[in-house]
Structure 1
Amino acid sequence: MSTFRTPLVVVGDALLDHDLCGRAERLAPDAPVPVVHGTRRSSRPGGAALAACLAAADGRPVTLVTALGDDPASDTLRELLAGRVHLVEVPLDGALSSKTRVLAGDRPLLRLDDGDGRARAGTGAAEATVTGAAAVLVADYGRGTADVLREALTAAAQRAPVVWDPHVRGDAPVPGVRLATPSAQEARVLARRLEEAEGDGDDAGLRGAARDARTLVQAWGVQAVAVTLGERGALLSHGETPLLVPTPAAASGDPCGAGDRFAAAAAGLLADGAFTEAAVQDAVHAATRYVAEGGARAVAAPDTAGAPAEASSDGDTTADAVRTAARVRGAGGTVVAAGGCFDLLHAGHVALLQAARRAGDCLVVCVNSDDSVRRRKGDGRPLVPVADRVRVLRALECVDAVAVFDEDTPERLLGELRPHIWTKGGDYARTRLPEQPLVESWGGQVLLLPYLDGRSTTGLARRAALTPATPAGPPQ
Structure 2
Amino acid sequence: MTGSTASTAHTPLVVVGDALLDHDLCGRAERLAPDAPVPVVHGTRRSSRPGGAALAACLAAADGRRVTLVTALGDDPASDTLRELLAGRVGLVEVPLEGALSSKTRVMAGDRPLLRLDDGDGCAREATPEAVAAVAEAGGILVADYGRGTADVLRDALAHTAAPVVWDPHLRGRPPVPGVRLVTPSAQEARAFARQLDDGDDTGDTGDTAGLRTAARDARTLVRAWRAQAVAVTLGERGALLSHGETPLLVPTPAAATGDPCGAGDRFAAAAAGLLADGTLTEAAVQAAVHAATRYVTEGGARAVAAPDQPRTAGEAPADGDTTGDAVRTAARVRAAGGTVVAAGGCFDLLHAGHVALLQAARRAGDCLIVCVNSDDSVRRRKGDGRPLVPAADRVRVLRALECVDAVAVFEEDTPERLLGELRPHIWAKGGDYARTPLPEQPLVESWGGQVLLLPYLDGRSTTVLARRAALGPASTGDRGK
For Structure 1 versus Structure 2, the TM-score category normalised by the shorter chain is 0.7 to 0.9
Q: Which residue of 2 aligns with 1:150?
A: 155
8 Å Cα contact 2:312/2:318 also seen in 1? no
User: 2:72 corresponds to which letter in structure 1?
Assistant: A
Please state if 1:4 is matched with 2:9. yes
Q: Pick closer, same or farther for the CA change 1:36–1:10 going to 2, 3 Å.
A: same
Letter in structure 1 aligned against 2:34: P
- Between the aligned partners of 1:59 and 1:369, the Cα distance in structure 2 is 28
Moved more, 414-423 or 186-195: 414-423
Instruction: Identify if the C-alpha distance between structure 1 residues 384 and 224 changes in structure 2 by more than 3 Å, giving closer, same or farther.
Output: farther
**Which residue of 457, 460, 465 corresponds with 1:459?**
465
What is the aligned partner in structure 2 of residue 183 from structure 1? Answer: 186
Q: Give % identity.
A: 77
TM-score, normalisation: structure 2: 0.82
Matched, 1:21 2:23: no
Unaligned runs of 5+ in 2: 1-6, 476-482
Give the Å deviation of 1:372.
Answer: 8.4
Contact in 2 for aligned 1:311/1:318 (Cα 8 Å):
no
| Residue 135, structure 1, aligned to residue 137, structure 2 | no
- The Cα offsets for residues 392-413 of structure 1, whole Å up to 9 and x where unpaired, read as 555354x4x1234486777886
Please, which of 238, 249, 258 is the counterpart of residue 264 of structure 2?
258
Number of equivalenced pairs: 460
Kindly state the Cα deviation for residue 263 of structure 1 after the two structures are TM-superposed: 0.6
d(CA) in 2 for partners of 1:9, 1:373: 46
Indicate conservation of the 8 Å contact 1:142/1:168, yes or no. yes
Is residue 115 of structure 2 the alignment partner of residue 113 of structure 1? no
Q: Cα–Cα, structure 1 residues 361 and 230, in superposed 2: closer, same or farther, change >3 Å?
A: closer
Gap change, CA 1:317 and 1:145, over 3 Å in 2:
farther
Instruction: Tell me the residue number matched to 2:88.
Output: 83
Which of 217, 220, 236 is matched with 1:214 structurally?
A: 220
Deviations along 1:198-248, one digit per CA (max 9) or x if unpaired, are: x36434512222221111111111100011111222111111111122222
Structure 1 pair 406/78, CA: closer, same or farther in 2 (3 Å)? farther
Check whether the contact 1:370–1:385 (CA below 8 A) recurs between aligned residues: yes
> d(CA) in 1 for partners of 2:366 and 2:254?
19
The 2-side partners of 1:49 and 1:267 are apart by 15
Once the two structures are superposed, the pairs formed by residues 21-60 of structure 1 within 5 Å of their partners are: 21-60=26-65
Distance in 1, Cα, partners of 2:389 & 2:156: 51
User: What is the identity, as a one-letter code, of the residue corresponding to 2:368?
Assistant: C
Q: Which stretch has the larger CA shift, 257-266 or 360-369? A: 360-369
Contact persistence 1:313–1:387 (CA under 8 A)? no
Q: SS of the counterpart of 1:53?
A: helix
Cα contact 1:418–1:442 (8 A) shared by 2 = no
Structure 2 counterpart of 1:474: none
Is the CA contact 2:330–2:407 (under 8 Å) kept in the aligned structure 1? Answer: no
Q: CA deviation at 1:194?
A: 2.0
Partner AA of 2:248 in structure 1: P
* C-alpha separation in 2, matches of 1:362 and 1:282: 16
Q: Which deviates further from its counterpart, 161-170 or 287-296?
A: 287-296
Q: Compare 273-282 and 289-298 and name the one that shifted more.
A: 289-298
Equivalent residue, structure 2, for 1:72: 77
Q: Please state if 1:196 is matched with 2:203.
A: no
**RMSD (CA atoms):** 3.7
Give unmatched runs, 5+ long, in structure 1.
Answer: 470-476
Q: Distance in 2 between matches of 1:5 and 1:328?
A: 27
Name the structure 1 match of 2:478: none
Residues 24 and 447 of structure 1, relative CA distance in 2, 3 Å threshold: closer
Equivalents in 2 of 1:444, 1:431: separation in Å?
16
SS of residue paired to 1:349: helix
Q: Secondary structure at the match of 1:283?
A: helix
CA displacement, residues 128-184 of structure 1 (integer Å, 9 cap, x when unaligned): 22111111111110111111112221222xx22110001122122122210000111
- What one-letter code is carried by the residue in structure 1 that aligns with 2:48? S
Are the structure 2 counterparts of residues 406 and 32 from structure 1 closer, same or farther at C-alpha, using a change threshold of 3 Å? closer
Secondary structure of residue in 1 paired with 2:197: helix
Structure 2 counterparts to residues 335-374 of structure 1, below 5 A:
335-350=341-356, 352-353=358-359, 362-367=368-373
Q: Render the CA deviation track for 1:20-65: whole Å, top value 9, x for unaligned.
A: 1122233223322222222111111110111111112222222211
State how 1:46-445 maps to structure 2 within 5 Å. Answer: 46-156=51-161, 159-196=162-199, 199=201, 201-204=203-206, 205-299=211-305, 301-302=307-308, 304=309, 311-312=317-318, 321-350=327-356, 352-353=358-359, 362-367=368-373, 381-383=388-390, 386=393, 390-392=397-399, 395=402, 397=404, 399=405, 401-405=406-410, 417-419=423-425, 426=434, 443=448
